[in-house]
Amino acid sequence: MAQLVETHGHTHDHESPQAKAENLKFAMWLYLASEVIIFSILIAAFAIFRVRQPEMVDEAREALSISFVSVNTFVLLASSWAMVMGLLAIQKGNNESMVRWIGLTGVLGLTFVLLQLVEYQELRHEGIALYSETAGRFGQRFYPLTAFHGAHVIVGVIWAFIVMFKGIKRQYSPTNYIGIEIFGLYWHFVDVVWIILFTMIYLI
Protein backbone atom coordinates (compact mmCIF):
# COMPACT_ATOMS: atom_id res chain seq x y z
CA MET A 1 0.00 0.00 0.00
CA ALA A 2 1.44 3.27 -1.02
CA GLN A 3 1.80 5.96 1.57
CA LEU A 4 3.04 9.45 1.44
CA VAL A 5 6.12 9.79 3.50
CA GLU A 6 5.81 11.88 6.63
CA THR A 7 8.72 14.18 6.20
CA HIS A 8 6.97 17.43 5.61
CA GLY A 9 8.92 20.40 6.85
CA HIS A 10 12.19 18.55 6.75
CA THR A 11 14.61 20.68 4.77
CA HIS A 12 17.16 19.25 2.39
CA ASP A 13 20.71 19.91 3.42
CA HIS A 14 22.32 19.15 0.06
CA GLU A 15 23.80 22.63 0.19
CA SER A 16 25.75 22.13 3.42
CA PRO A 17 29.57 22.06 3.26
CA GLN A 18 29.62 18.49 4.62
CA ALA A 19 27.26 17.29 1.90
CA LYS A 20 29.33 19.02 -0.76
CA ALA A 21 32.53 17.54 0.62
CA GLU A 22 30.95 14.08 0.56
CA ASN A 23 29.91 14.61 -3.07
CA LEU A 24 33.38 15.71 -4.09
CA LYS A 25 35.10 12.81 -2.40
CA PHE A 26 32.73 10.27 -3.93
CA ALA A 27 33.11 11.82 -7.38
CA MET A 28 36.89 11.64 -7.03
CA TRP A 29 36.71 7.93 -6.26
CA LEU A 30 34.55 7.35 -9.33
CA TYR A 31 36.98 9.33 -11.44
CA LEU A 32 39.87 7.26 -10.11
CA ALA A 33 37.93 4.09 -10.95
CA SER A 34 37.88 5.12 -14.60
CA GLU A 35 41.57 6.03 -14.43
CA VAL A 36 42.35 2.57 -13.08
CA ILE A 37 40.80 1.13 -16.22
CA ILE A 38 42.76 3.25 -18.68
CA PHE A 39 46.00 2.41 -16.91
CA SER A 40 45.16 -1.27 -16.78
CA ILE A 41 44.79 -1.38 -20.59
CA LEU A 42 48.24 0.12 -21.06
CA ILE A 43 49.70 -2.10 -18.35
CA ALA A 44 48.08 -5.16 -19.93
CA ALA A 45 49.55 -4.22 -23.31
CA PHE A 46 52.97 -4.16 -21.65
CA ALA A 47 52.40 -7.40 -19.74
CA ILE A 48 51.39 -9.30 -22.89
CA PHE A 49 54.52 -8.01 -24.58
CA ARG A 50 56.65 -9.03 -21.57
CA VAL A 51 55.31 -12.57 -21.70
CA ARG A 52 55.46 -12.96 -25.48
CA GLN A 53 58.81 -11.38 -26.16
CA PRO A 54 60.82 -11.56 -22.93
CA GLU A 55 64.17 -11.28 -24.71
CA MET A 56 63.25 -7.88 -26.15
CA VAL A 57 62.44 -6.55 -22.70
CA ASP A 58 65.58 -8.00 -21.19
CA GLU A 59 67.62 -6.41 -23.92
CA ALA A 60 66.01 -3.03 -23.43
CA ARG A 61 66.55 -3.21 -19.69
CA GLU A 62 70.25 -3.08 -20.19
CA ALA A 63 69.72 0.44 -21.44
CA LEU A 64 67.54 1.38 -18.46
CA SER A 65 69.29 2.51 -15.34
CA ILE A 66 67.55 0.89 -12.40
CA SER A 67 69.41 2.87 -9.75
CA PHE A 68 68.48 6.14 -11.44
CA VAL A 69 64.82 5.19 -11.60
CA SER A 70 64.91 3.96 -8.01
CA VAL A 71 66.00 7.42 -6.91
CA ASN A 72 63.16 8.88 -8.95
CA THR A 73 60.70 6.46 -7.39
CA PHE A 74 61.92 7.52 -3.98
CA VAL A 75 61.32 11.17 -4.93
CA LEU A 76 57.71 10.40 -5.84
CA LEU A 77 57.17 8.39 -2.65
CA ALA A 78 58.59 11.26 -0.64
CA SER A 79 56.14 13.63 -2.31
CA SER A 80 53.27 11.40 -1.18
CA TRP A 81 54.61 11.58 2.36
CA ALA A 82 54.80 15.40 2.09
CA MET A 83 51.19 15.31 0.94
CA VAL A 84 50.14 13.38 4.06
CA MET A 85 52.06 15.80 6.27
CA GLY A 86 50.35 18.73 4.59
CA LEU A 87 46.92 17.24 5.23
CA LEU A 88 47.81 16.56 8.87
CA ALA A 89 49.03 20.14 9.22
CA ILE A 90 45.78 21.69 8.04
CA GLN A 91 43.77 19.32 10.21
CA LYS A 92 45.73 20.69 13.17
CA GLY A 93 45.08 24.20 11.92
CA ASN A 94 48.64 24.99 10.96
CA ASN A 95 48.17 26.76 7.63
CA GLU A 96 51.80 27.85 7.13
CA SER A 97 53.05 24.32 7.65
CA MET A 98 50.43 23.00 5.21
CA VAL A 99 51.54 25.48 2.55
CA ARG A 100 55.16 24.39 2.99
CA TRP A 101 54.37 20.67 2.80
CA ILE A 102 52.11 20.98 -0.25
CA GLY A 103 54.71 23.19 -1.88
CA LEU A 104 57.26 20.44 -1.23
CA THR A 105 54.86 17.92 -2.77
CA GLY A 106 54.74 20.01 -5.93
CA VAL A 107 58.50 20.50 -6.07
CA LEU A 108 59.15 16.77 -5.62
CA GLY A 109 56.59 15.99 -8.32
CA LEU A 110 58.30 18.44 -10.65
CA THR A 111 61.66 16.82 -9.86
CA PHE A 112 60.18 13.45 -10.82
CA VAL A 113 59.02 14.78 -14.18
CA LEU A 114 62.38 16.40 -14.91
CA LEU A 115 64.29 13.25 -13.99
CA GLN A 116 61.97 11.24 -16.22
CA LEU A 117 62.79 13.58 -19.11
CA VAL A 118 66.48 12.98 -18.39
CA GLU A 119 65.81 9.26 -18.57
CA TYR A 120 64.01 9.68 -21.91
CA GLN A 121 67.05 11.53 -23.23
CA GLU A 122 69.32 8.71 -22.11
CA LEU A 123 67.13 6.13 -23.78
CA ARG A 124 67.09 8.11 -26.99
CA HIS A 125 70.86 8.04 -27.02
CA GLU A 126 70.67 4.28 -26.55
CA GLY A 127 68.51 4.13 -29.66
CA ILE A 128 65.16 3.29 -28.06
CA ALA A 129 62.62 5.38 -29.96
CA LEU A 130 58.83 5.35 -29.81
CA TYR A 131 59.03 3.05 -32.78
CA SER A 132 62.05 1.67 -34.59
CA GLU A 133 62.55 -1.65 -36.30
CA THR A 134 65.04 -2.99 -33.78
CA ALA A 135 64.27 -2.06 -30.21
CA GLY A 136 61.08 -0.28 -31.22
CA ARG A 137 58.68 -2.79 -29.84
CA PHE A 138 59.95 -2.02 -26.39
CA GLY A 139 59.69 1.72 -26.98
CA GLN A 140 56.09 1.63 -28.10
CA ARG A 141 55.10 -0.16 -24.93
CA PHE A 142 57.35 1.88 -22.69
CA TYR A 143 56.80 5.48 -23.78
CA PRO A 144 53.00 5.68 -23.98
CA LEU A 145 52.72 4.03 -20.58
CA THR A 146 55.26 6.16 -18.74
CA ALA A 147 54.35 9.34 -20.61
CA PHE A 148 50.68 8.87 -19.77
CA HIS A 149 51.67 8.55 -16.13
CA GLY A 150 54.00 11.51 -16.48
CA ALA A 151 51.13 13.61 -17.80
CA HIS A 152 49.20 12.72 -14.66
CA VAL A 153 52.14 13.84 -12.54
CA ILE A 154 52.30 17.15 -14.42
CA VAL A 155 48.60 17.74 -13.78
CA GLY A 156 49.24 16.87 -10.12
CA VAL A 157 52.12 19.34 -9.88
CA ILE A 158 49.96 22.15 -11.26
CA TRP A 159 47.20 21.13 -8.86
CA ALA A 160 49.66 21.13 -5.92
CA PHE A 161 50.72 24.69 -6.71
CA ILE A 162 47.07 25.76 -7.00
CA VAL A 163 46.39 24.26 -3.57
CA MET A 164 49.49 25.98 -2.21
CA PHE A 165 48.39 29.30 -3.66
CA LYS A 166 44.93 28.91 -2.15
CA GLY A 167 46.60 28.04 1.15
CA ILE A 168 48.62 31.26 1.04
CA LYS A 169 45.34 33.09 0.55
CA ARG A 170 44.03 31.20 3.62
CA GLN A 171 41.18 29.46 1.86
CA TYR A 172 41.46 26.30 3.96
CA SER A 173 40.75 25.71 7.65
CA PRO A 174 40.66 22.71 10.02
CA THR A 175 36.95 22.37 9.17
CA ASN A 176 37.28 23.02 5.45
CA TYR A 177 40.10 21.16 3.78
CA ILE A 178 38.22 19.02 1.26
CA GLY A 179 40.14 20.66 -1.58
CA ILE A 180 43.39 19.32 -0.13
CA GLU A 181 41.87 15.94 0.63
CA ILE A 182 40.71 15.22 -2.92
CA PHE A 183 44.02 16.42 -4.29
CA GLY A 184 45.60 13.95 -1.88
CA LEU A 185 43.45 11.12 -3.26
CA TYR A 186 44.60 11.96 -6.77
CA TRP A 187 48.24 12.28 -5.79
CA HIS A 188 48.33 8.99 -3.91
CA PHE A 189 46.68 7.31 -6.87
CA VAL A 190 49.36 8.62 -9.23
CA ASP A 191 51.96 7.39 -6.78
CA VAL A 192 50.48 3.90 -6.51
CA VAL A 193 50.29 3.64 -10.30
CA TRP A 194 53.97 4.46 -10.49
CA ILE A 195 54.85 1.73 -8.03
CA ILE A 196 53.02 -0.77 -10.25
CA LEU A 197 54.70 0.59 -13.39
CA PHE A 198 58.12 0.54 -11.75
CA THR A 199 57.67 -3.06 -10.70
CA MET A 200 56.35 -4.12 -14.10
CA ILE A 201 58.83 -2.33 -16.30
CA TYR A 202 62.03 -2.44 -14.29
CA LEU A 203 61.83 -5.33 -11.86
CA ILE A 204 59.87 -8.39 -12.93
**Contact set with other proteins (CB under 8 A):** 1-8, 10-12, 14, 19, 22-23, 26-27, 30-31, 33-35, 37-38, 41-42, 45, 53, 130-131, 136-137, 140, 144, 148
User: Whose Cβ is closer to other proteins: residue 13's or residue 67's?
Assistant: 13
Residues 180 and 86 sit within 8 Å (Cβ to Cβ): yes
Residue (32 or 85) nearer to other proteins, CB: 32
What's the closest the beta carbon of residue 131 comes to other proteins, in angstroms? 4
**Minimum CB distance to other proteins, residue 35 (Å):** 7
Q: Is 185 in contact with 152 (CB distance < 8 Å)? A: no
Task: Provide the minimum distance between the beta carbon of 151 and other proteins in the complex, in angstroms, as a whole number.
Answer: 11
* Phi, psi (rounded to 5 degrees) for 176: -135, 85
DSSP code at position 13: -
Instruction: For residue 38, give the amino acid letter.
Output: I
**Contact criterion met (CB below 8 Å) for 176 and 199:** no
Shortest CB 88 distance to other proteins, Å: 27
